[in-house]
Copies of this chain bind each other. A is one copy, B any other.
Amino acid sequence: MAPEPFSSPAQYLADRKALIDEVLNRFLPPCDTYPPIIYEAVRYSLFAGGKRIRPILCLAAAEATGKTAGGDLSAILQAACALEMIHTYSLIHDDLPALDNDDYRRGIPTSHKRFGEDIAILAGDALLTEAFKLLSDPGLSSSAKPEIRLEVINIIARAAGIGGMISGQVMDMKAEALKPEPNLVYFIHQKKTAELIQASVHTGAILAGAPAEELLALLKYGGKIGLCFQIADDILNAAGDEALLGKAAGSDLARGKATFPAVFGLEESRRIAETLVREAIESLGAFDCQAEPLRGIASFILTRKS
């Protein structure tokens, strides 16, 4: 279970993605569990080729503390997988006809196109619930104390809940009828994306037992790259390569979505994203080479093509 040490950002991301995929696969019942259609639907979206940024950030934040070397990663991997389940649920529901009405994601039909709207809604509900089942599972050998596990559940539920991701989604929908303005787009990106990414870093840090000062630095890092991640997504949607994206480029603009390019223009959006990455890396100043993966991920967010 001990993952490879850090060599390069690309290698680190590939290695940790393989680890997350393996653990996710182990946590989920097989496709022939009754009734098979819902297990198929859950696995279809969960294994559709996601980059696993949130779970990898959870692992990388834990590794940055230097307290996980040779230790039991089970509680951290558990939280990491739960974060990916919640992210996947949010994509399935976001793609529904009543929301963004997207036919493709990552180059393949969205859940409702493949399984029907009823199953897509229930598959999202299932992934959200499974995340909390996993986080509270008594059967998994968990190295974390019950009070820390409760704290992790609360951090993730707050980030994903009505005061977090949900209100971001609500305003993302409602903003289509509004003039895109800086306050609005910052609110949406903060809530819709940044808070769950920050929660990923947060949970990794507290599960590894990060001391208060390191935790604060990691939270700052997480907030910056969380926001940057969504701005980079906006930039890719506005100016990216459709073949690499696996979905239509320019769709945000066509829908009148509140995005950074719509509010600030492409060039200024890139400048804001670069500043956020620089500040994120600066906030890790007190960490040694064990924070290299976090630094590499921050740079990757800006240079990724899909």
A residues sitting closer than 8 Å to B (CB atoms) are 29, 33-35, 37-39, 42, 89, 93, 96, 98-99, 116-122, 124-126, 128-130, 132-133, 135-138, 145-147, 149-151, 153-154, 157-158, 160-163, 166-167, 169-171, 173-174
Contact = CB atoms under 8 A, between A and B. Distances in A.
Contacts of A153: 132, 135-136, 153
Contacts of A150: 136, 138, 146, 149-150
Contacts of A39: 162
Contacts of A133: 154, 157-158, 161
A173 B118 contact: yes
Contact of A37 (B35, B96, B170): B170
Q: Which of A37, A129, A138, A145 has the most CB of B within 10 A?
A: A129
A78 B42 CA distance: 30
A196 to B, nearest CB: 11
Copies of this chain per assembly: 2
Contact of A98 (B118, B137, B149, B158): B118
Contacts of A129: 128, 157, 160-162, 166
A275 B120 CA distance: 38
Binding site of A, secondary structure by majority: helix, strand, loop or mixed? helix
Nearest to A89: B125
Nearest to A149: B150
A126 B174 contact: no
A157 B170 contact: no
Nearest to A171: B35
B119 A93 contact: no
A151 B132 contact: no
Contacts of A163: 29, 33
Given A157-B132, A173-B118, A35 B146 contact: no
B166 A122 contact: yes
Q: Which of A35, A119, A169, A174 has the most CB of B within 10 A?
A: A35
A96 B122 CA distance: 11
28 contacts: A29-B162, A35-B170, A35-B171, A38-B166, A38-B167, A39-B162, A42-B162, A98-B120, A98-B121, A99-B118, A119-B170, A121-B121, A122-B169, A122-B170, A125-B128, A125-B166, A128-B128, A129-B157, A130-B157, A132-B132, A132-B153, A136-B151, A136-B154, A137-B154, A138-B154, A146-B146, A146-B147, A153-B153
